């Protein structure tokens, strides 16, 4: 359970700044090893990059091409650990298909060798092996795809990024960590023995003072800004923006992820089945704006859509099939070279022993456990703690986010819950969704559905979210705002059509008594989400209008050369 703590500890071994996947991993690792831990996030948990990813848990096959063998091996090992030990229901195997454009024996041999190496690095996990597909086999696997002479098929995995953060935080809390969202760092000074820290909770209007024997800066893209607050030299980072679009799951697209090429710059794009939609991304560009307002642009949406429409003529994709767009910023350690896939996603951990600050930079969602382990090793050394932690460190390697689930077995739990849920007339999709996302805790939501049958009905047709789930999250996961609930505790914001406000209002009315929101506050909460939605949708609407304009212009006889990127989209 993640709840606003009744009191904030006056003194801790480790203050973790940042409640994205990196900070959550550190809090989990440090708490299980027996350290006293406080984690704070200046906004909501997972409100940074960690809820705006491609949702993949992967080794990064393409980095083999650039000789980054160690990084790929680390990613593949962490993928397997998450799949098999740590979060077997939140992280699921996903097959990827990469179509090859031409018959080039040398490239084909290189690609198949890379796949064999990738399989070997993953020790043929679960017996899943990569293979090659000829033209006919590819056409059978993806009939809607344009024809390619051959393809490669291999396995990685997919997750719900924000829920992975929240599940990790829950484990940290169960191990004794205190965690707090919407608490910013107001002032911090080091007195030679510990940090004297003042934190400010903006919603509650309260300031907290505490002493921290060490600080871990895990603030992702904000790392250099946080370093300034701690008077630490900022790490040189590049901010690289990546944009995704969310599309209708068009009939004819199967269950595998397909890698296509951007028409604009030939970079690889991933088309991934995501819940009831398709997720397609990403574009990549340097970013310098406000880190809280990273948004897609209409031309990025057009680029992604036209690449998709070109690759899948059999899907007959139209601009109105684009439902949403979102963009996140990746903090990449500054390096020479072009802005392309070759830029390394490796992480670095810097320890300032004199001031007892650990700074984590770069990295991936996939490798959070490994990054946390390395960072906490440094904290333990820095604080000269006894080697408590040899054993717990070993245990952590396979410490499940839902221990009961792993021990009892997914099948058993599913069977038992499904039986209960069916008697509460809960539909099958909702049952699977609850087990996947909440493991053993799904029982708490089903119990609510028993008490109030109407709370078991899907909020939006075709999606598994219910009022019972929203209520459960409000009670157990420190939800401060409606936005927390619909953007991060669940991905409703990205998947459903919420623009008319009806669903948002139903949720607000249901949870208002728990949050003690009066009528004015309920309006403000809904209004805030609608404003955000309008801003996030403006790129999609801009693209759709541009495409409609092109269609009209072509209809009226204008030259297609006179109109920009949207022409491909309109055709
Ligand atoms: C477009 C895109 C797609 C990606 N796809 C994948 C993928 O598919 N798979 C994968 O493995 N990786 C992926 N990544 C990389 C991955 O998302 C990041 O490495 C990871 O999410 C970074 O997590 P973080 O916790 O370090 O940062 P964030 O998630 O950004 O968290 C930082 C947190 O710090 C908080 N904060 C800021 N300042 C302060 C302060 N002063 N005090 C307290 N808190 C503060 C913020 O509110 C935020 O919650 C992707 C990245 C991008 C940009």
Q: How far is the CA of 220 from the centre of ligand 1 (A)?
A: 5
Per-residue pLDDT reduced to its tens digit, 500-532: 999 999 999 999 999 889 999 999 999 999 999
pLDDT at 77: 93
pLDDT at 382: 93
In the chain, what is the straight-line distance between the N-terminal and C-terminal CA atoms, in Å?
A: 51
Query: What's the average model confidence in pLDDT over 462-479?
Result: 95
Question: For residue 524, with 0-12 CB atoms within 10 Å meaning exposed, 13-18 middle and 19 or more buried, which class applies?
Answer: middle
Pocket test for ligand 1, best of 26, 27, 41, 242 (most atoms within 8 A of CB): 41
pLDDT at 395: 59
Alpha helices, DSSP H only, in 221-297? Answer: 223-229
* Rounded distance between C-alpha atoms, residue 300 and residue 288, angstroms: 17
Kindly report the number of other CB atoms within 10 A of residue 373's CB atom. 17
397 versus 128: the higher-pLDDT residue is 128
**pTM listed for this prediction:** 0.93
* Rounded distance between C-alpha atoms, residue 536 and residue 517, angstroms: 26
**Secondary structure (DSSP) of 102-114:** S--HHHHHHHHHH
Under 8 Å between Cβ of 530 and 501: yes
Q: How far is the CA of 221 from the centre of ligand 1 (A)?
A: 7
pLDDT at 339: 57
Query: Which phi and psi (to 5°) does residue 165 adopt?
Result: -65, -50
pLDDT at 564: 45
Q: Collapsing DSSP states into helix, strand and coil, what is residue 239?
A: strand
**Residue of the nearest CA to atom 21 in ligand 1?**
50
Which CATH number among 1.10.150, 1.10.8, 1.25.40, 1.10.3470 corresponds to the domain 403-517? 1.10.8
Q: Give the CATH architecture of domain 11-50+162-235+344-396.
A: 3-Layer(bba) Sandwich (3.50)
Minimal CA–CA distance to 485: which of 470, 500, 465? 470
pLDDT at 444: 85
pLDDT at 205: 87
Q: How far is the CA of 571 from the centre of ligand 1 (A)?
A: 37
Q: How far is the CA of 21 from the centre of ligand 1 (A)?
A: 7
Q: How far is the CA of 130 from the centre of ligand 1 (A)?
A: 30
Distances (CA, A) of 124 to 77, 83, 157, 400: 11, 13, 14, 22
Least confident of 375-379, 447-451, 468-472: 447-451
* Rounded distance between C-alpha atoms, residue 372 and residue 365, angstroms: 11
* Rounded distance between C-alpha atoms, residue 378 and residue 240, angstroms: 28
Per-residue pLDDT reduced to its tens digit, 284-315: 899 999 999 999 999 999 999 999 999 999 99
**Residue of the nearest CA to atom 35 in ligand 1?**
18
Per-residue pLDDT reduced to its tens digit, 192-246: 999 999 999 988 888 999 999 999 999 999 999 999 999 998 878 889 999 999 9
- Helix or strand (DSSP H, E) at 416: helix 410-423
Query: Which phi and psi (to 5°) does residue 278 adopt?
Result: -115, 140
Q: How far is the CA of 362 from the centre of ligand 1 (A)?
A: 9
Query: Does residue 25 have its Cβ closer than 6 Å to ligand 1?
Result: no
Tokens, residue 211: 């002493």
Sequence ranges of the domains in the chain: 11-50+162-235+344-396, 403-517
pLDDT at 561: 42
Pocket test for ligand 1, best of 219, 259, 480 (most atoms within 8 A of CB): 219
* Res. 435 pLDDT band, cuts 50 70 90: confident
* Rounded distance between C-alpha atoms, residue 292 and residue 48, angstroms: 8
pLDDT at 408: 44
* Cα-Cα-Cα-Cα dihedral sign, residues 17, 22, 24, 25: negative
Is the pLDDT score of 74 beyond 70? yes
Query: Does residue 56 have its Cβ closer than 6 Å to ligand 1?
Result: yes
pLDDT at 401: 74
* Rounded distance between C-alpha atoms, residue 127 and residue 343, angstroms: 31
Is the pLDDT score of 467 beyond 90? yes
Distances (CA, A) of 401 to 81, 86, 157, 391: 12, 6, 17, 18
Query: Does residue 437 have its Cβ closer than 6 Å to ligand 1?
Result: no
559 versus 14: the higher-pLDDT residue is 14
Query: What's the average model confidence in pLDDT over 363-368?
Result: 94
* Res. 406 pLDDT band, cuts 50 70 90: very low
Is the pLDDT score of 563 beyond 70? no
165 versus 415: the higher-pLDDT residue is 165
């Amino acid at each position: 359970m993640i709840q606003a703590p009744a009191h904030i500890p006056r003194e801790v071994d480790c203050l973790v700044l940042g409640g994205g996947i990196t900070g959550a991993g550190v809090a989990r690792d440090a708490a299980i090893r027996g350290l006293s831990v406080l984690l704070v996030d200046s906004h909501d948990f997972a409100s940074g990059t960690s809820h705006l990813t491609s949702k993949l848990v992967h080794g990064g096959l393409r980095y083999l091409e650039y000789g980054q063998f160690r990084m790929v091996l680390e990613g593949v090992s962490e993928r397997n650990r998450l799949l098999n030990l740590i979060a077997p229901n939140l992280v699921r195997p996903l097959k990827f298909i990469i179509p090859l454009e031409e018959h080039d024996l040398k490239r084909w041999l290189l690609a198949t060798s890379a796949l064999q190496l990738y399989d070997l690095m993953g020790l043929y996990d679960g017996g899943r092996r990569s293979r090659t597909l000829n033209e006919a086999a590819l056409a059978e696997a993806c009939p809607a795809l344009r024809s390619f002479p051959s393809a490669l098929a291999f396995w990685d995995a997919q997750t719900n990024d924000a829920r992975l953060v929240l599940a990790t935080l829950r484990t940290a809390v169960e191990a004794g960590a205190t965690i707090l969202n919407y608490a910013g760092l107001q002032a911090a000074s080091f007195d030679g023995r510990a940090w004297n820290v003042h934190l400010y909770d903006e919603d509650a209007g309260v300031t907290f003072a505490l002493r921290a024997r060490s600080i871990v800066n895990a603030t992702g893209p904000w790392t250099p800004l946080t370093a300034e607050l701690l008077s630490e030299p900022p790490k040189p980072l590049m901010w690289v923006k990546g944009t995704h679009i969310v599309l209708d799951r068009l009939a004819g697209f199967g269950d595998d992820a397909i890698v296509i090429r951007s028409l604009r710059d030939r970079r690889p794009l991933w088309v991934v089945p995501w819940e009831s939609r398709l997720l397609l991304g990403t574009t990549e560009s340097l970013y310098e704006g406000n880190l809280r307002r990273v948004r897609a642009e209409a031309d990025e949406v057009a680029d992604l859509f036209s690449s998709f429409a070109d690759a899948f003529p059999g899907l007959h994709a139209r601009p109105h099939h684009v439902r949403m767009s979102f963009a996140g910023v990746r903090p990449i350690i500054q390096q020479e070279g072009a802005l392309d896939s070759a830029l390394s996603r490796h992480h670095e951990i810097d320890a300032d022993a004199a001031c007892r600050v650990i700074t984590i930079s770069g990295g991936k969602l996939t490798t959070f456990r490994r990054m946390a382990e390395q960072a906490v090793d440094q904290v333990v050394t820095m604080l000269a703690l006894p080697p408590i932690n040899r054993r717990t460190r070993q245990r952590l390697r396979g410490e499940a986010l839902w221990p009961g689930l792993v021990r009892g077995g997914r099948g058993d739990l599913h069977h038992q819950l499904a039986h209960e849920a069916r008697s509460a007339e809960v539909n099958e999709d909702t049952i699977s969704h609850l087990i996947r996302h909440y493991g053993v805790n799904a029982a708490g939501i089903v119990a609510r559905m028993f008490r109030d049958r109407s709370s078991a009905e899907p909020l939006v047709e075709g999606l598994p979210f219910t009022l019972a789930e929203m209520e459960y999250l409000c009670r157990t996961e420190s939800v401060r705002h409606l936005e927390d609930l619909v953007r991060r505790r669940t991905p409703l914001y990205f998947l459903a059509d919420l623009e008319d406000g009806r669903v948002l209002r139903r949720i607000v009315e249901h949870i208002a008594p728990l949050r003690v929101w009066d009528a004015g506050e309920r309006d403000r909460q809904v209004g805030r989400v609608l404003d955000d939605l309008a801003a996030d949708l403006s790129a999609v609407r801009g693209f759709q209008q541009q495409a409609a304009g092109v269609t009209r212009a072509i209809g009226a006889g204008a030259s297609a050369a006179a109109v920009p990127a949207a022409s491909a989209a309109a055709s």
